[in-house]
Amino acid sequence: MTRSTLIALIAGALLLLDAAMAQAAPCLLVTITGAQGGPQAYKGQAGSGTLVSFGDDTDNCSAVRLQFDAGRGTLLRLSQIGVQSGQLNAIFFTHMHNDHSEGFIDLLKHRWFLFPTGPKIDVVCSDDAASPLGFTLSCRKFVAHIADALINSGEIAQRITEDKRRPAAGPAALANMRTFEPKNEPQVVWAAGDVRVSAVRSSHIPGHASYRVDTPAGSVVIGGDAGIKAE
Between 133 and 90, whose confidence is greater?
90
Using the predicted structure, report yes or no on whether residue 14 has a pLDDT greater than 70: no
pLDDT of 3 higher than 90: no
**DSSP-derived pairing of the beta strands 209-215 and 218-222:** antiparallel
Alpha helix (H) residue ranges in 59-165: 74-80, 98-101, 103-114, 139-144, 148-153, 155-162
**Is the pLDDT score of 148 beyond 70?**
yes
- Beta-bridge mates of residue 137: 129
Amino acid at 227: G
Instruction: Give pLDDT, residue 231.
Output: 40
| Burial (0-12, 13-18, 19+ Cβ within 10 Å), 8 | exposed
- pLDDT tens per residue across span 99-130: 999 999 999 999 999 999 999 999 999 999 99
pTM above 0.85, yes or no: yes
What confidence category does residue 89 fall into, taking pLDDT thresholds of 50, 70 and 90? very high
Quote the percentage of the chain above a pLDDT of 70: 88
